[in-house]
Amino acid sequence: MKSLIRNASVAAAALAVGLTATAIARADDKPTLAFVVNGASDFWKAAEAGVKKAQGELPDYTLELKYPEQSSVAIQQRLMDDLVTAGVKGIMVSAVDPKTSTDGLNKIASQTALFTTDSDAPQTKRVAYIGSSNVDAGKQAAEIAKKAMPDGGKCLGFVGLLGADNAKERIQGMKDGLAGTKIELVDVRGDDIDQARAKKNVEDALVASPDVTCMVGFYSYNTPRIYEALRDAGKLGSITVVGFDDDPITLGGVKEGTIAATVVQQPFEWAYQGMKLMAAYLKGDKSGIPAGNLIIIPTKIIGKDDVDAYAANLKAMAGN
């Protein structure tokens, strides 16, 4: 009997220790905030650096940047559902296609704090958007084209997700900026963030549309694929190229003069400021949310004379 009592006491003590350890583990658990991108692209490396910097200033949180396996609404939604199930307290997302995922995004918003970046979903219950004014970025692309093509011409655009708000707004902004000029954006071709397809779209256009005198890469990887296709066809310098973002190939083309200029965004700031904004919001501080629920991080044009200073700044932000 004494043996049974002793064994029971040991078991009870072990159970108590186990429960205490579990309680401690739970007490030590930090709330997680996630930054969910729209597809695999080097463009998001700057956002990774922004998340890393924010992590250093938010020791009470665990910050993560997540890539969907593929750029599709269903796969991105499943990723966010899994994050919510795992207990993530806040999600900032660049929605693949906000127009077709309103219900899914609202589901996430009902379970955790939802913010948007890069491509907004204003019809959802997201708390706020932090990112570029894509309309203004499109207008800046028009300014590049007008400066490079004073006699006019026909432009053909290339983009990843034709249905995404960031694509639609950049395209509309460029068309607005070209209104009344002799330059026309005649068409835009999508590739669903498939970079091999992106290059092939350019190659096909060189054959099918010989009257095109200007090409616009609306997503970060589109301009490098335009550059490569023109290089391979021996047409670098004979077609005006208007870029977006700061891929090394794009910056190299701007510096050598084969790309007129590029409109750059600040994904580092989206992530850095966005993580801090979410953390403050979850603590009850809503002072960082403006009345219009839009936090615009300006875009800017990088020309040939700006490349070296801009590239040095990028390295500094990344901690290199």
Domain boundaries, the chain: 31-132+267-289, 134-264
pLDDT band at 314 (very low <50, low <70, confident <90, very high): confident
Classify domain 31-132+267-289 by CATH architecture: 3-Layer(aba) Sandwich (3.40)
Position 318 pLDDT exceeds 70: no
pLDDT of residue 87 exceeding 90 = yes
Q: Look at the pTM and tell me if it is higher than 0.85.
A: no
Residue 62: pLDDT over 80: yes
Residue 163's pLDDT is what? 86
Q: Give the model's pLDDT for residue 20.
A: 36
C-alpha to C-alpha distance for 173 and 123, rounded to whole angstroms: 20
Rg of the chain over all Cα atoms, to the nearest angstrom: 24
Same fold, 31-132+267-289 and 134-264: yes
Fold category of 134-264 in CATH:
Rossmann fold (3.40.50)
Report pLDDT digits (tens) over 159-205. Answer: 999 988 889 999 999 999 999 999 999 999 999 999 999 999 999 99
Token pair recorded at residue 42: 């080097």
Give residue-wise pLDDT tens across range 264-275: 999 999 999 999
For position 184, what pLDDT does the model report? Answer: 97
Question: Helix 307-318 and helix 248-256: axis angle, to 10°?
Answer: 160
pLDDT band at 319 (very low <50, low <70, confident <90, very high): low
> What's the pLDDT score for residue 320?
54
Average pLDDT over residues 266-295: 96
* Beta carbons within 8 Å of 311's beta carbon, 6+ residues apart: 246, 251
Phi, psi of 145 (to 5 degrees): -65, -45
pLDDT of residue 14: 39
Judged against a pLDDT cut of 60, whether residue 27 lies above it is answered with no
AA identity, residue 11: A
Query: How far from 181 is each of 37, 59, 143, 175, 178, CA to CA, in Å?
Result: 36, 53, 11, 10, 6
